[in-house]
Each structure stands twice: as C-alpha cells, then as structure tokens.
C-alpha cells in the first residue's frame, strides 16, 4: 500500500472532526448506523472473575465479544476501570463455550499501554461545549515521552484542524491509535514501531511545558473508550 493510501486511511480514521470541536459529519453517522449491533441478548450470560492486568478489551477477546457489550451489561461507565477480583457478566455465552486460552493477563504487545503519565482531565464521551470527546485528555505537567501504545505502523504525522499536531498508528487488525498534542516527532510516516517506542515529546511548538495530551483508540473508524483497552 502506498503512503498516499495510508494517508487516506488515516484521514478516514480521524474523520476530519475535532476532539471536542466539531460534530461527526452526517454521512459518517449514517455509515455507523448501518453497522451490525454486537449483541447476543437472546443468549444467557456467564461470569468472569477479573485477574490482575486484565482489561475489558482483553476479556472481550477471550470470550469473542465486544468491550462495550460487557460494559453495558455490567453498568460500567465511561470513567470506570475494572479491578482484580471483580466479577463480570459476559454477554451471549452458551454453556459449552470456554474463553480462549491463548490470552493471559498482562499479555504483552497485543495489549495497549498508557502513552503518557498524567491525570485524566476529560473522559470518553465527556461533553465540552456540547460535543462528545472521542478519546481521553491527559494533563502533562512535565515534558515527557509519548510512547506507542501498541505495535503498529505510522500512517499519519501532521496537523489536523481541532486536533493539533497528530500521529496515527495503524495496528493492522482494524484498530488505530491517535496521539494529539506534541512538540516534536521522533518518527516518520511508514515506520514500523514496537510498543513503548518513543513517538514524540509532550508540549507544543511554543515551548510550553504544561499541556493537555489527547489520546484515542479507533476500531474501524469508530471511537472506542481507551479506558476499556489500556493496561
């Protein structure tokens, strides 16, 4: 695939809409409306006891379901995280279905790590100026490294309206991560990066060392709650 195709794919992932400054275009809303609903409400639910290091995304993969389905069934809000020992209902599980055994807690590069350290200042779907946040905002009071949350390929680097300086990684399984708000990039388009690779430094071009970093996870162009994915 050419860099132009990668750029086009990255552009679609971001959707030309600001983190909290512009509504999703109607055409994109219509496309989302046609996607199948991942629900198996007609099937009985089973239970899963969370162990250290597990995320909703990892558990969802184990049971071949969707993190948001688990969150809805268990009334987990967009600002909540799960903890070891917590019992979760797993939707749509027949009694003879066992979780896949090739996933272990804290299982490495298939999981997502936090790209920076800091306090969350805006959660997923939190409204700012009447617009839903498509990711999470993290306060970064010191200049620090922005790390690749997961193995992937750099498909976009540049400024997007409303997002500012942006880097997008394609993880080759329908998932992309979006990193917004940095002073200087350490990678270039086309680079294959490993989880933990330094992508950029926090801050901005004016040299301010206190800034807000924005992070998104998108699945087939649809914003996901990063807290359901981050280890």
Whether 166 is in a domain gets the answer yes
103 pLDDT tier (thresholds 50, 70, 90): very low
What is the DSSP secondary-structure string of 107-118? -GGGSB--SS-S
Between 134 and 20, the higher pLDDT residue:
134
Whether 63 is in a domain gets the answer yes
Q: Is 193 in the same domain as 213? A: yes
Whether 61 is in a domain gets the answer yes
Range of the domain at 59: 46-106
Q: Is 100 in the same domain as 71? A: yes
Most confident of 78-87, 88-97, 198-207: 78-87
Q: Is 72 in the same domain as 136? A: no
Between 150 and 96, the higher pLDDT residue:
150
First to last CA, the chain: 31
Q: Residue 200 belongs to a domain with what CATH number? A: 2.70.70.10
* Selection from 190, 184, 103 nearest residue 152 by Cα: 190
CA distance 127 to 48: 32
Q: Which pLDDT belongs to residue 102?
A: 44
Q: Is 93 in the same domain as 117? A: no
Q: Is the pLDDT confidence value at 42 over 80?
A: no
Whether 123 is in a domain gets the answer yes
Stretch 92-121: mean pLDDT? 68
Between 65 and 4, the higher pLDDT residue:
65
Residue that terminates a domain, selected from 106, 123, 142: 106
* Selection from 150, 146, 144 nearest residue 192 by Cα: 150
Q: Is the pLDDT confidence value at 89 over 90?
A: yes
Name the phi and psi angles at 26, rounded to 5: -60, -35
CB 56 within 8 A of CB 67: yes
Between 219 and 1, the higher pLDDT residue:
219
Q: Which pLDDT belongs to residue 50?
A: 95
Rounded to two decimals, the pTM is: 0.73
12 pLDDT tier (thresholds 50, 70, 90): very low
What is the CB neighbour count within 10 angstroms for residue 182?
26
Whether 35 is in a domain gets the answer no
Q: Is 150 in the same domain as 58? A: no
Per-residue pLDDT reduced to its tens digit, 51-78? 998 999 999 999 999 999 999 999 999 9
* Helical segments of the chain, H only: 3-14, 26-33, 56-62, 67-73
Q: Is 91 in the same domain as 203? A: no
CB 165 within 8 A of CB 181: yes
* Helical segments of 74-140, H only: none
Between 70 and 31, the higher pLDDT residue:
70
- Average pLDDT over all residues of the chain: 78
CB 197 within 8 A of CB 177: no
Between 209 and 93, the higher pLDDT residue:
93
* Structural domains in the chain (count): 2
Residue 136 φ/ψ region, left for φ over 0, alpha for ψ in the -120 to 50 degree band, beta for the rest = beta
184 pLDDT tier (thresholds 50, 70, 90): confident
């Amino acid at each position: 695939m050419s860099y132009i195709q990668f750029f086009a794919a990255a552009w679609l992932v971001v959707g030309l809409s600001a983190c909290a400054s512009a509504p999703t275009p109607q055409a994109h809303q219509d496309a989302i409306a046609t996607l199948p609903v991942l629900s198996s409400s007609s099937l009985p639910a089973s239970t899963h006891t969370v162990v250290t290091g597990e995320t909703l995304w990892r558990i969802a993969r184990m049971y071949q379901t969707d993190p948001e389905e688990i969150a809805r069934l268990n009334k987990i809000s967009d600002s909540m995280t799960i903890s070891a020992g917590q019992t979760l209902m797993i939707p749509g599980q027949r009694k003879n279905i066992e979780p896949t055994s090739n996933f272990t807690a804290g299982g490495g590069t298939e999981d997502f790590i936090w790209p920076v350290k800091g306090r969350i200042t805006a959660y997923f779907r939190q409204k700012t100026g009447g617009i839903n946040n498509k990711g999470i905002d993290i306060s970064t009071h010191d200049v620090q490294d922005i790390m690749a949350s997961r193995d992937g390929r750099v498909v976009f680097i540049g400024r997007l309206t409303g997002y500012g300086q942006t880097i997008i990684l394609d993880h080759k399984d329908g998932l992309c991560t979006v990193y917004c708000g940095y002073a200087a990039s350490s990678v270039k388009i086309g680079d294959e990066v490993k989880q933990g690779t330094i992508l950029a430094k926090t801050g901005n071009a004016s040299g301010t060392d206190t800034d807000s970093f924005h992070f998104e996870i998108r699945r087939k162009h649809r914003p996901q709650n990063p807290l359901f994915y981050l280890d």
